[in-house]
């Protein structure tokens, strides 16, 4: 039997917005279609609906609202009772939270719903008829004309996390937000066993969060069994084998000041591409319920395939179904040397060394030569592939790197047109689960050493519309420089 205590912050109707549902006990209502609420669930409702029959879910209000000026005394007593050995004080506090007198078992799991809520009400026109700006009620911490002053958890929320983490009970933090909040303490605390980040998730948040916690669904919406049926297909064991695989689309810095001023539009030291600032969660980060390893990279040079009007007078029909070209496999180890116009295939083997099937988002980042003639990013996402890997399975993932991927823009001086050029030098490559070594991956590189000078990207096609063969899909690849 599961026994849960669910600490919720937002009890105000203002915690529900047209675009999101961060409310916990208040039901979400779509203001554009007030009658469409049949599938709406709060976090509390989703947990109660999805957990197995017999699970007891107790709500304990940690704070009166999201601003969390003070902590609820009953919740504090319950948590301190847990810290003191899960004795009579804890049982009494649980009974008080549940409104019962009979003995109640102590907690087996703590779920903390923390974070932010949005102020989505339209600004009220003050005297003079102009729209008002600023937060319009005590529960608002961000919204239109209501900006956060810092990325800290509001009020006493961090104190509540610290109390819960000190209890000898598995604790999961459900972090509701629409952007960065400071979770460094929770990340480092051994008592916080997992963090599920909910980016203002919408009216189905309750069931979605509960299904992820129970491993029933992947974060892409599938039921986790890999059969293509994204619902309950009667195969309970398979449906319970889901694993999240979402990835963070921003860099989550330790210090929010590292994100830069909103009034400075220069890219210098901004985003994962140029910033060296320490990140709590790097760009592309995300965990699953398993672990992956990456094998040694293998390189090959792919031959160019002429499209209509190409060499030899090939017709459109012939170009649409070319004979399978033969790739030139490059020697393993070292840094392979290639020509500026070569298209490359990079293959890595991704192995699921855990006990659960899961998707992995394999990401490829390119770093151009540091001595480039123009400023270049420290790294840049070039491609990614989401693949399903069964427990114990190894899968090859192949990326195609074409000249366009590592060209730089030159020109603009004295009225000259800008043009993409390919410069000689070493291109470093990272293939892994995110943009840094925070998750497993493998580093490799290739060197452009011919011709010796710069090469105009368009000259790679020699005046013809060219396409590169994608050996991983057996389809003509994605780039035609003359189109």
Q: What is the pLDDT of residue 407?
A: 93
Query: Which ranges of 201-315 does DSSP label H, i.e. alpha helix?
Result: 205-213, 236-239, 271-274
Which has more pLDDT, 292 or 82? 292
Q: What's the rounded Cα separation, in Å, for the pair 352 and 389?
A: 6
Q: Are 89 and 81 in contact (CB under 8 A)?
A: yes
Q: What is the pLDDT of residue 258?
A: 85
Which has more pLDDT, 368 or 17? 368
Q: What's the rounded Cα separation, in Å, for the pair 426 and 406?
A: 10
Instruction: Say yes or no to pLDDT of 339 above 60.
Output: yes
pLDDT range class, residue 128, cuts 50, 70, 90: very low
Instruction: Say yes or no to pLDDT of 211 above 50.
Output: yes
Q: What is the pLDDT of residue 428?
A: 96
Q: What is the pLDDT of residue 95?
A: 59
Report the half-sphere exposure of 1 (CA within 13 A, side-chain side).
9
Of 238, 257, 244, which is closest to residue 211 (Cα–Cα)?
244
The mean pLDDT of the chain is: 75
Q: What is the pLDDT of residue 85?
A: 56
Cα dihedral 279, 200, 205, 141, rounded to 10, equals 100
Q: Are 360 and 433 in contact (CB under 8 A)?
A: yes
Quick: pLDDT tens for 294-332: 999 999 998 764 333 233 333 333 334 445 556 788 888
Q: What is the pLDDT of residue 405?
A: 94
Angle at 21 between CA 19 and CA 27, to 5 degrees: 125
CB atoms within 10 A of CB 213: 19
**289-293, 440-444, 468-472: which has the minimum mean pLDDT?**
468-472
Angle at 176 between CA 180 and CA 169, to 5 degrees: 110
Quick: pLDDT tens for 139-150: 667 877 777 888
Instruction: Say yes or no to pLDDT of 292 above 90.
Output: yes
Q: What is the pLDDT of residue 399?
A: 96
Q: What's the rounded Cα separation, in Å, for the pair 160 and 106?
A: 18
Of 124, 114, 123, 213, which is closest to residue 165 (Cα–Cα)?
114
Q: What is the pLDDT of residue 82?
A: 73
Query: What is the pTM for the complete model shown?
Result: 0.79
For residue 89, give the 3-state DSSP assignment: helix
413 backbone φψ class: left, alpha, beta (φ>0; ψ -120 to 50): beta
Q: What is the pLDDT of residue 421?
A: 92
Q: Among 80-89, 108-117, 232-241, which range has the highest average pLDDT? A: 108-117
Q: What is the pLDDT of residue 351?
A: 98
Q: Are 154 and 68 in contact (CB under 8 A)?
A: yes
Q: Is the peptide bond before 451 cis (omega within 30 degrees of 0)?
A: yes
Q: What is the pLDDT of residue 124?
A: 53
Q: What is the pLDDT of residue 455?
A: 87
Q: What is the pLDDT of residue 356?
A: 92
Q: What's the rounded Cα separation, in Å, for the pair 135 and 157?
A: 19
Q: What is the pLDDT of residue 43?
A: 86
Q: Are 176 and 154 in contact (CB under 8 A)?
A: no
Of 361, 342, 365, 340, which is closest to residue 443 (Cα–Cα)?
365
pLDDT-above-70 percentage for the chain: 66
Q: What's the rounded Cα separation, in Å, for the pair 97 and 102?
A: 12
Q: What is the pLDDT of residue 71?
A: 92
Of 319, 318, 276, 325, which is closest to residue 300 (Cα–Cα)?
325
pLDDT range class, residue 206, cuts 50, 70, 90: confident
Q: Are 15 and 85 in contact (CB under 8 A)?
A: no
Instruction: Say yes or no to pLDDT of 235 above 60.
Output: no
């Amino acid at each position: 039997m599961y026994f849960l205590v669910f600490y919720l912050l937002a009890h105000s109707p203002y915690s529900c917005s047209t675009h999101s549902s961060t409310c916990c006990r208040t039901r979400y209502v779509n203001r554009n279609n007030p009658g469409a609420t049949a599938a709406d669930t709060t976090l509390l409702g989703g947990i109660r609906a999805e957990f197995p029959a017999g699970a007891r879910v107790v709500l304990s209000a940690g704070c009166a609202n999201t601003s969390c000026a003070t902590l609820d005394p009953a919740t504090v007593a319950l948590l301190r009772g847990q810290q003191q050995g899960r004795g009579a004080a804890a049982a009494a506090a649980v009974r008080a939270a549940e409104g019962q007198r009979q003995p109640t078992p102590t907690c087996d799991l703590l779920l903390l719903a923390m974070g932010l809520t949005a102020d989505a009400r339209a600004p009220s026109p003050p005297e003079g008829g102009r729209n008002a700006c600023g937060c319009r009620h005590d529960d608002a911490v961000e919204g239109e004309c209501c900006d956060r002053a810092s990325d800290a958890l509001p009020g006493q929320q961090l104190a509540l996390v610290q109390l819960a983490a000190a209890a000898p009970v598995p604790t999961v933090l459900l972090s509701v937000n629409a952007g960065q909040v400071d979770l460094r303490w929770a990340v480092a605390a051994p008592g916080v066993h997992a963090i599920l980040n909910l980016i203002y998730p919408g009216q189905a948040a309750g069931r979605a969060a509960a299904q992820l916690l129970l491993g029933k669904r992947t974060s892409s919406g599938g039921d986790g069994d890999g059969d293509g049926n994204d619902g309950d297909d009667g195969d309970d064991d398979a449906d319970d084998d889901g694993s999240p695989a979402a990835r963070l689309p921003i860099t989550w810095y330790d210090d929010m000041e590292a994100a830069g001023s909103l009034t400075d539009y220069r890219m210098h030291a901004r985003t994962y591409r140029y910033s060296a600032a320490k990140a709590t969660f790097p760009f592309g980060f995300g965990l699953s319920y398993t672990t992956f390893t990456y094998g040694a990279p293998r390189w090959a040079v792919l031959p160019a395939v002429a499209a209509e009007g190409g060499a030899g007078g090939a017709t459109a029909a012939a170009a649409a179904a070319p004979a399978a070209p033969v790739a030139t496999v490059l020697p393993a180890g070292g840094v392979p040397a290639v020509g500026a116009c070569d298209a490359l295939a990079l293959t890595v083997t991704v192995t699921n060394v855990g006990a659960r099937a899961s998707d992995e988002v394999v990401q490829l980042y390119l770093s151009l030569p540091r001595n480039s003639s123009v400023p270049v990013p420290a790294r840049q996402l070039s491609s990614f592939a989401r693949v399903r890997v069964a427990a114990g399975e190894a899968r090859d993932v192949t990326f195609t790197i074409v000249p366009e991927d590592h060209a730089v823009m030159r020109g603009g001086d004295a009225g000259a047109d800008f043009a993409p050029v390919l410069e000689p030098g070493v291109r470093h490559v990272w293939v892994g689960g995110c943009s840094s070594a925070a998750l497993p991956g493998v580093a490799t590189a290739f060197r452009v050493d011919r011709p010796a000078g710069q090469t105009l990207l368009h000259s790679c096609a020699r005046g013809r519309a060219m396409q590169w063969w994608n050996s991983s899909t057996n389809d003509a690849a994605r780039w035609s420089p003359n189109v």
